[in-house]
Structure 1
């Protein structure tokens, strides 16, 4: 009996050890899988995002960044934090996008003219009078077409635009040049400041002016000293940067329905995982509502403000400008050779 009991004891003991070992391996495997999933989704990692912009404090798209910051930090319970660097205090307008691509910067505003420097087909979105108005623009950029465009930017540049904010309709703002500007011929010989990209400079020529690149941070002084005769920006920017103090004429030309795109480095984006990504998109939409609403409301009241400040405000011959500008683009084969003309026509049809 003793030998039989000893034999049964050993069988039970061995079986128990085997089951324990299998259970331990399973737990270890489950722990490894769980840790891997957690890491891939970025659910436990914290993120500190530096957002650089050349815009000044009172600009709507600067104010929108504080909405973005508050919304992101609230929706993620502080897992993602945002530092806002405005007025070119971290990177200037010419180098912030490069820093974003290199991964030295997490977020910045980019726009179609800069993207077109790296993806020539995007120059289509820089052309004058592409969009009829705000509703037309946001239907394109914040819809299916925008999704496709932004994915192309991800694939080719490694940065991801998260939406399109309305910057305003660009108007001509100029010093006393001895005449009012109401048609393209009036811009002949006028030095018009443009950002330093090929597509912006081409737009200046298409309008009929002599385009001159000047950094935004230097523009007030350039107008004041007469280095340039004119600049083009949406009315809220003209007010907030106080350009009207040194350029006391405005022509309402509406030649670009302007946008900026809050953009994130793609490697950072992928580290976040789908759960945080969804919260980021929700926060961007909150910020877009802030920016768009502020700019639409500002544009509605600013003509009266400028006139009260002694600024001479005139209406352009829109048909004359539109026909002239579009002709300059469509007859330039070098400019349009990379365009998707079917998409161009589709966008034009969406204005109706």
Structure 2
């Protein structure tokens, strides 16, 4: 009898131990930004995520910042294989879920708050579900890379006609080629690592990036003029392997989701701060910054949007419906 009781007790303890081990999982979180709290949107977001998840669950979170596990495309592939469980990416998302590319339609969002309302609302949820079906990656929340702006070394840009004849470095993405061509500029695909030299030697006259990227990488020292036209709003996607997500308990899932939302909002806040601070700093160091009026932005949009939308409709096929859904969502929150 005593021996049986001992066996039963031992079996019970083993079951408890196995159950505990099953839930004592590790989440690898990776991104390509610096591991900083105050200047890195993804860096701060990752730490916030870690603190909340570890504070409220028995999950362990390991952080891999600054491209330690690879570039964004590689991180996405790792998440799809459940090698890295959570990744924070921006441009890589549209490569695996083509519908996400509609967010790059120029001059879609008049302000960051409109973008937040759209992404945190019905449209963002629907896009996330669609991309989950396409990729096996669940969108936990949206962060922010920020509005992209034009800089150049030739003249101030106040209207589309000021772009005529100027060569702009763009990412090797067809949508950006169409955008610059629509505005009358000459798009030139150049790798990011080659950009400073291309600006210094006059291979291109200008480029386009968020203000924080421009300042933090010293591009303002190679350019005289910046126009805060905000032609593309770039969102960060906080993604989790759905295979891993489904292995969590409902309570763990709830904490992970809430942590991601808070992390995304932290990233947005830091990006807003970085942009405001960046504008002041580049001006203090001699760069001329122009902020277009609403009428001037409308003129840019009139030139740039048709070519990009036509290109996307041809590329997306059935997913072209997401263009109309995005435009409807923007109109709804802008009322």
Q: For this structure pair, what is the TM-score category when the shorter chain's length is used for normalisation?
A: 0.7 to 0.9
Task: Identify which of 263, 274, 281 aligns with 1:305.
Answer: 281
Question: Which residue is equivalent to 2:314?
Answer: 334
Task: Identify which of 83, 105, 117 aligns with 2:63.
Answer: 83
Write the distance in 1 (CA, Å) between the matches of 2:184 and 2:24.
52
Q: Is the 8 A contact 2:166 2:186 kept in 1?
A: yes
Task: Identify which of 93, 110, 121 aligns with 1:115.
Answer: 93
Q: CA deviation at 1:54?
A: 4.6
Question: Which residue is equivalent to 2:181?
Answer: 205
Give yes or no for the alignment of 1:161 onto 2:126: no
| Other structure's SS at 2:320 match | coil
Question: Which residue is equivalent to 1:62?
Answer: 43
Give yes or no for the alignment of 1:229 onto 2:205: yes
Query: 1:314-333 counterparts in 2 under 5 A?
Result: 314-316=290-292, 317-332=296-311, 333=313
Query: 1:91-170 counterparts in 2 under 5 A?
Result: 91-111=70-90, 113-170=91-148
Change beyond 3 A, Cα 1:246–1:89: farther
Q: CA RMSD in A?
A: 3.2
After superposition, the C-alpha distances for 1:172-216 in whole angstroms (9 at most, x for unaligned) are 122x23x22222233334332333333344334344333333444
| Other structure's SS at 2:106 match | coil
More off after superposition, 49-58 vs 249-258: 49-58
Give yes or no for the alignment of 1:74 onto 2:55: yes
* Aligned length, in residue pairs: 322
More off after superposition, 144-153 vs 181-190: 181-190
Q: CA deviation at 1:227?
A: 4.1
Question: Which residue is equivalent to 1:10?
Answer: none
Q: CA deviation at 1:49?
A: 0.5
Change beyond 3 A, Cα 1:91–1:124: same
Q: CA deviation at 1:331?
A: 4.2
After superposition, the C-alpha distances for 1:213-237 in whole angstroms (9 at most, x for unaligned) are 3444544444334444322222122
Q: Is the 8 A contact 2:42 2:88 kept in 1?
A: no
Give yes or no for the alignment of 1:171 onto 2:149: yes
Change beyond 3 A, Cα 1:217–1:43: farther
Q: Is the 8 A contact 2:72 2:89 kept in 1?
A: no
Write the distance in 2 (CA, Å) between the matches of 1:324 and 1:55.
36
Gaps of 5+ in 1: 1-19
Gaps of 5+ in 2: none
TM-score, structure 2 as length reference: 0.82
